[in-house]
Copies of this chain bind each other. A is one copy, B any other.
Amino acid sequence: MSSRLDDFRAYRTRMNERIGEIDHLGIKRFFGLDSGAYRDQALDGKTKELLGLVASTVLRCNDCIDYHLEQCVNAGWTDEELFDALNVALVVGGSIVIPHLRHAVETIDLIRAETMASARPDEI
Contacts and interface: CB of A to CB of B under 8 A. Distances in A.
Contact of A88 (B22, B52, B60, B88): B52
Interface residues of A, number: 62
Nearest to A15: B102
Contact of A85 (B34, B51, B60): B51
A80 interface: yes
Contacts of A98: 31, 34, 64
Nearest to A61: B96
Given A48-B84, A63-B99, A80-B42, A33 B91 contact: yes
Total identical chains: 6
A26 interface: yes
Given A24-B84, A59-B59, A95 B15 contact: no
Interface in A30-48: 30-31, 33-34, 36-38, 41-43, 47-48
Interface of A: 11-12, 15-16, 18-19, 22, 24-27, 29-31, 33-34, 36-38, 41-43, 47-48, 50-52, 54-56, 58-61, 63-64, 78-81, 83-99, 101-102, 105-106, 109
